[in-house]
Every structure is written in C-alpha cells, then in structure tokens.
Chain A
Amino acid sequence: MATTDTLILATDITDNQTVPVTLDGKNILICKANGDFYAVDNMCTHQRAELTGGRIRNCFLACPLHGVRFDLRTGKPKGELTRVPLKTYDVSLDDNGNLQIGLD
C-alpha cells in the first residue's frame, strides 16, 4: 500500500471532511463518511472540477461545481450530468493509525 509523503492520522479527519493528497503524482481525495474512510480521484467526471470541499452526506460526495453526487463506496454517479464513475482506491490503517491508500 502506498502512503502520502505527509502521513495522515485517521484521527485527524472528521466525519464529512475531505482531504486532498498527492500520491505518485495523482490528485486523490480522502473522505470520511459515517465513520468510514474512502479515497477517490479528486476530479469530477462531469467537467474535471476538483471535488475538494464537496458536501458529504450519507456516503455521497457532491461536486461543488454542478452538484453531481458520487457514491463513495462505488464511485457511481447519480443523475444525468455524467454516467462515468469516479475511480476509487482501497484505504486501510497502518499500525500507527496512519491512513494507507492502495494504488493499483
């Protein structure tokens, strides 16, 4: 599992917060929803807008630009603006409580 240059403690992220990180040159957004962690590409599949700061509710992340909602568990969008899912990454915790993100 790859980790970010700056280790991120799981306890530093609160529910419904988004944290952008760069990992192997990829812009990835770490999200916490209902106590669980998710990592997705930080780029809306509708118009490539950054998703940082998008509202999270009930495991759905909304793009700040036009409001497309993505299911953080699967990356699947709702509605008509895009049918292309967000890429999702596995997230796990190391022994020190830091988040680890699985790059394929």
Chain B
Amino acid sequence: MSELIKVKQQGEARCEGLSYQDLLDEETVEVPAYLRENTNPYMGDEDIDVARWVGRDFHEQEKKKLWPKVWQMTCREEDIPEVGDHHVYEIVDQSIIVTRTGENEFKAFINSCLHRGRILRDNDGHAEEFVCPFHGATWDIHGNFKGIPCKWDFSHLDQKDMSLPQVKTGIWGGFIFINFDDNCVALEDYLSPLPEHFARFPLHDYYKGAHVERVVNCNWKVGAEAFMESFHTLETHSEILTFTGDANSQYDTFGDHVSRSVTPMGIASPHMPDVTAEDTMRDILELSGRMATDSAEGHEMPEGLTARTYVAETNREMFSDIIGEPLEDATQSELEDAILYMLFPNTQIWTGYHGNIVYRFLPNGDDHNSCIFETMILMRYPKGTKKPDPAEKNTLRPDQAFSEAPEIGGLGPVFDQDDSNMAAVQKGMIASRKGKVSLASYQESRIRHLHQSIDKYLNA
C-alpha cells in the first residue's frame, strides 16, 4: 500500500456505531439533499504553531491581509429599520457606518470625517445627516458632502471629491455584510453553498430575539474554535451527554468559506451506553436550551417511542404553533439536531425552525489576546403578524457570567463552561513549551480548515 493511501485511511477513521447518516435512514419524511452531503477531504495531521493564536505578528498579518479582504457580517437588517438608521461596525482598527439609505438599500461608509478625521458617528442610532461633532462638516446619508461652517476658509476643497468613501455591502438571510475590497468576489459566490443549505430556514424573515456580548480574554480564533467541534462535550459539558451524540457527529467542509458540524441530539453519547430513553428525554428538555420547551414537567415517554422521536415531534408541534404553519416536511434531524455552519472567518449560524443561534467572534479592537464573543438568537413569529422589534444588545461586564443573561436561557450555563476554557487556552498556549497544538484528524478537522483558509488569504 502506498504511503498516500495509508494517510487517506487515517483521515477516514470514524467513531464506531451509529453515524449521522445512519440516523437519517430512519427518517419518515423525505431527507433534503443538503443533509445527505458528507464531505470531509483529508487535510493532514501536522501540528499547528501557537503563534497563530498568541503571536502579535500573526495578528498584524490578519489585520493587513485577512480582514480587509473577507466578507464580514455587521448587523441584522432589523437593527436599522428606518432610512437614516445606522450601525457603527468596528473591526480591529477600522470603523464603518452601516446605514439604511432606502427601503431595501444599504450603504457602508468609512467612519472618518474628511476634514480632521474624527469618527463621524460614535454610536448606533438615527441621523437625517452625518454632522461631525468636532467642527460640523456634514454629509447626507448617501455620503454626499453638504458643507462645513466658515466655507470661506475652505475654498481649496471645492475641487476635491468630498464624498464619503464607501465599502461594498451585501445582504443574505437578513444579515448585512461588508467587504473593504473593491475587487472581492460577489457575496453570493463567497457564501455558497450556505444559501442553498438554508433554503428551508428563511432567516431574513426571522427576528433577533436576543443579543448578548462579552469580552473574553482569548484570541478570536480560540473563541470560534470552542464551537467548532463536539469532541469537547465529554470533558467540558458532561451533563449533556445523556442526550448528545457527541462522537456520532459529522463534520463537513464546503469550499474555503463554509464548514459544518452535525451533532445528533436526543440520543445518548456513545460514551454512555446505559442511559434510558426517559433520562434522554428529561435532560434534553431541561438542559439543552434549544428545544421548544425548557421543562420536562408533564412529559412522559410513550411506550415504544425513542426519545429522539418524542422530542422531535414535541418540537414539531410547538414550533408549528409559534410559526403559524405546519412543519410536515421537517426531518427529526432539523427539528432537534445541532446543525451548525461556520461562515468564514468568524460567524457561525445554526439551522432550525425557531430559536436559531448565531455566534460571532470579533477581535477586541487591536488586541490579539482578547475578543468579543456575541450570541444572537433568531426567532420566528406567527405568519401574518408584524415582525417584532429586535432585542437591544446586552453587553455583559467582563466579570459577569453568561448565565446572568436570562434572555439566552439554558445556553448561559453551557457558555459559562466554554468560557472556563477560552481564556485558559490562550494562557496555556502562551505558556506552552511544545509551542504547537495537535488536532484530532476528523473531529477537529473544521479547525484545520479554518486555518488553511486563513493561510489562503495571508499567502495571496
């Protein structure tokens, strides 16, 4: 056998027993094609240098070659519902005013006055025009220059282009994206195959029901990677193993910008062979934070039904009531499993019919040793009723626990467990004498994929 084939086989090892695809075979409705995709090209097993997370040089390279080139999610459309509403988006040392200029039109301006350079807008808000708070230079919301006090002193500006510089904008799923690069690929090409995979989940028609953020003392990639594999469930979240098929998870990569993990729920972990269906049902309702109800009170497992089926059908009924339309075509997997996509480089979105979680990990300004971890929950509302206003962002203090944010419910305590690792990983990487990390071939393959995609930008 050639070396090459041996290596390939090593990358194809999987946990023994039930796979996610085996579970799909048990579905009673038609399984959509995107769930049947199972693609994980072997990417190697080399150790990765900790400098990618803790080195200042690497951060500087990202600042120069990554962030100026990628499409990045800024906010939700419903965050700026009226013409003139704007969101100030900050990435490393850059600041952008994302503003609604028409019913379905958005522009993004460099947030810097063309007179003396002060940022034009300090906060999110609403403006009829952008007046610099320093000397009063003014632009309309389309970026056209309207003037400056003491015009007699600025005749030398008459021949200059005083329009506010813009960056590219794009919309998908109710998210507003920007890209600093005038020559970037079109957003739809960058996102592919995400829109196709989310065809059953019209995120543009969801609303942001919760938005919580907090600074975490780790590099933004350490934060993101805490949510890119289910391998850590065994040690970090052992209380959820009764209903989480952690080692049964499937990991996929699609091109350079999208990857996904699918962790079956409503089945016990392969690490826990003796769990009863009753235990699984009770624990998933009470602890997962993602089901249609957060209490097992009044729920009794009917004879002959699996916990996976019982919980999926409970979700089907309750989600249908919330949305106001039947979910007859939904698979049990879509009603229950943790199907989590990553959109390169720093946004992660769950599929689902109600209560879809979104994560974003932003560098905390120009500091490579801390990041801003945000969680949003996208909710549905009854068909034919007015879309509810989005939740105001709740910024927790650095000393606060995520469980102090009641709006994210059962997720808070789970995040607190993840939080107990994130800053500790950063600290341990800095202290490391090995100076490298090793990754699981399959279960941590999405992390390798993230780094290989980053390298494509840094080496471009």
Set A57, A59, A64, A81: member contacting B133, Cβ < 8 A: A81
Contact A67 B122 (CB under 8 A): yes
- Complexed CA–CA distance, A79 and B95 (Å): 14
Contact B123 A69 (CB under 8 A): yes
Interfacial chain B residues near A66, Cβ < 8 Å? 122, 131, 133
Majority-rule SS of A interface residues: loop
Nearest CB of A to B130, in Å: 9
Nearest CB of A to B91, in Å: 18
Would you give the 0/1 interface string for A67-81, flagging 1 where the beta carbon is closer than 8 Å to chain B? 111000000001111
Set A58, A79, A80: member contacting B392, Cβ < 8 A: A58
Nearest CB of B to A61, in Å: 10
Residue of A nearest to B86 (CB): A67
| B52 interface residue (CB < 8 Å to A) | no
What is the size category of the interface that chain B forms with chain A? 10 to 19
Residue of A nearest to B88 (CB): A79
Residue of A nearest to B130 (CB): A67
| B326 interface residue (CB < 8 Å to A) | no
Interfacial chain A residues near B125, Cβ < 8 Å? 55, 62, 67, 69
Interfacial chain B residues near A78, Cβ < 8 Å? 123
Interfacial chain A residues near B126, Cβ < 8 Å? 55, 57, 62, 67
| B121 interface residue (CB < 8 Å to A) | yes
| B46 interface residue (CB < 8 Å to A) | no
| B15 interface residue (CB < 8 Å to A) | no
Residue of B nearest to A62 (CB): B125
| A23 interface residue (CB < 8 Å to B) | no
Residue of A nearest to B395 (CB): A78
Nearest CB of B to A84, in Å: 15
Contact A80 B122 (CB under 8 A): yes
- Complexed CA–CA distance, A79 and B126 (Å): 14
| A60 interface residue (CB < 8 Å to B) | yes
What is the size category of the interface that chain A forms with chain B? 10 to 19
Most chain A CB within a 10 A radius of its CB, from B124, B125, B126, B127: B125
Most chain B CB within a 10 A radius of its CB, from A57, A64, A68, A81: A57
Residue of A nearest to B391 (CB): A58
Residue of A nearest to B81 (CB): A57
| A65 interface residue (CB < 8 Å to B) | yes
Interfacial chain B residues near A59, Cβ < 8 Å? 392
| B279 interface residue (CB < 8 Å to A) | no
- Complexed CA–CA distance, A59 and B389 (Å): 12
Set A58, A64, A65, A68: member contacting B123, Cβ < 8 A: A68
Contact B392 A60 (CB under 8 A): yes
Most chain B CB within a 10 A radius of its CB, from A60, A66, A67: A67
8 Å CB contacts to A: which residues of B340-393? 389, 391-392
Nearest CB of B to A74, in Å: 13
- Complexed CA–CA distance, A50 and B185 (Å): 46
Interfacial chain B residues near A81, Cβ < 8 Å? 122, 133
Contact B122 A57 (CB under 8 A): no
- Complexed CA–CA distance, A78 and B88 (Å): 13
- Complexed CA–CA distance, A55 and B122 (Å): 16
- Complexed CA–CA distance, A59 and B391 (Å): 11
Nearest CB of B to A70, in Å: 11
Interfacial chain A residues near B391, Cβ < 8 Å? 58
Interfacial chain B residues near A69, Cβ < 8 Å? 123-125
Contact A79 B123 (CB under 8 A): yes
Nearest CB of B to A50, in Å: 15
Interfacial chain B residues near A64, Cβ < 8 Å? 128
8 Å CB contacts to A: which residues of B137-183? none
Set A58, A60, A79: member contacting B122, Cβ < 8 A: A79
- Complexed CA–CA distance, A78 and B85 (Å): 16
Contact A67 B127 (CB under 8 A): yes
- Complexed CA–CA distance, A78 and B389 (Å): 20
Nearest CB of B to A90, in Å: 23
Known: A65-B131, A66-B133, A67-B127. 6 other contacts (CB 8 A): A55-B85, A57-B126, A59-B392, A67-B126, A79-B123, A81-B122
Spell out A's residues near B (CB within 8 Å). Answer: 55, 57-60, 62, 64-69, 78-81
| 5 closest cross-chain pairs (CB), A and B | A67-B125, A79-B123, A55-B126, A58-B392, A79-B122
